[in-house]
Structure 1
Amino acid sequence: MATWKVLGICGSLRQKSYNSGLLRLAGRSSPGICVVGDELVGRLPLFNPDLDDGEDLPAAAAEFRSCADESEGVIIVSPEYAHGPSGVTKNAMDWLIGSGGLAGKPTLLMSASPGQAGGMRGHLALIPTLTLMGSILVDSVTVSGAPARADAQGDFYDPTVLERVRLSMEELTTALSYSHQKKEKSLLSD
């Protein structure tokens, strides 16, 4: 079984958030996927174009971009704030826009919310940016009513959520495999 390195972006800095629990669940649900870079998101400074070059690039941003470049896919888990993604999510993506770190990579959007929409409105705001960045989107996962489906640590135990995440990780793995095969064919034809 192949091991795929996947960049993890969690748009919540709360330790016990449902969204960080969803990212942990995604990592546990697929032994073939290794989530990297998720610990760097909270260390990123606010994006500033004046710092967006090699000389002044903050260390956390340089390391985050390196993780993105080395990854074969992306999982973005973001809470919804005021019908949009969190500022943390947008800031992380801003640091990647100029790097090309998401181009051509299968990308899974996930969110969890106490409300009925499960964070899907936040996904809608991310899709144009991800498309512009060249991401290949796979079916997203939204979890509504999160408090009734997770424990006090934000870890999900609801069988429906576990199955939805498992299926989405299968789909991401399939997309990663397809993307890898496509890349290999392209290299062979050069």
Structure 2
Amino acid sequence: MPNRPAAAQMLPLALSVEVFLLGLSVAFGPVASAYTLEGLRWGGNPSSGCCASFNVQFQTGMVSSDITSWNNGIAAWGGSAANVVYVTRSNSPLVVSDTYRSDIDWDGLTNYAGSSGQFTSVRAYLNHYYTQSYSATVSQGVAAHELGHAVGLGHSAASCALMLPTTPGRDSCGAWIPKADDIAGMNSLY
């Protein structure tokens, strides 16, 4: 047996494991999520487990390609391991819409109101001025990104995530569907 100081010989197993894990994180870097949360969540949904259900109202008069993008964004979340289901309904406080504005620099935007840590209303937009020139997958990514904001996800600092703050960042890594960091963030909320 190697010669060790008496204190080291007496380390409890739990502390030994913590020291070992600390050594791993120093050697290989910390394992951490890069997601952030908006600070609000929808009430009436489970805090963990499957599945939180969100009613989504489609604003009338949208361009058909933006309706397709919203539907594909909903399907992207539905096909993921996230504990969420989006359901199209009328009279929902979560409304998706579109606009056509050349005087602004965003292709998607989510506005929300809340009280006591819960959303009371959300309106998410696609800006058709930009999305009209996007491929179907890129537009789907914008819609899915905004749907993430609409239920409580903030921007991610991950290297490749749906919740990256810019469309070129998401597009460069193929994040048109929820990635591991997005799913981890969603599952931490619901």
- Superposition TM-score, scaled by structure 1 size: 0.36
Which protein shows a greater Rg? 2
Higher helix share: 1
